[in-house]
Amino acid sequence: MTRDRFIMAVVGVAAASLVVVAFSSIGCEKKTPPVAPAPAAPSQYVNAICPMMGTTIDPTKVTESLTRVYEGKKVAFCCGECTGPWDKLTDDEKAAKLKEIAAK
């Protein structure tokens, strides 16, 4: 019976050691406060929607040829098909187009 008690004692100590090791590693990671995302860079364009087609503009795809300056601000267009008709609009028509897309 002494041998059985010795084996049980060894198994018990080994099990207790595993439990201690397992629980001691919980929460030991270095806690760092969450990092707030960087504020979005303001768009260099006054619009996010094409004033001619009404489609969403991807600023990463807008080239200089797809922009026009209106009242000192850059207006972006979705494609080259839109810049020509924009150029033919009066200032009042341009203002109306920008007001229309701003309401969306």
Least confident of 10-19, 50-59, 73-82: 10-19
Q: State the average pLDDT over residues 16-31.
A: 51
Q: Is the Cβ–Cβ distance between 79 and 53 less than 8 Å?
A: yes
* pTM, rounded to two decimals: 0.59
User: Residue 22 has which token pair?
Assistant: 């397992």
Q: State the average pLDDT over residues 69-86.
A: 96
24-73 per-position pLDDT tens digit: 555 555 565 665 554 444 578 999 999 999 999 999 999 999 999 999 99
β-bridge partners, 69: 74
- H or E element: which one contains 69? strand 67-70
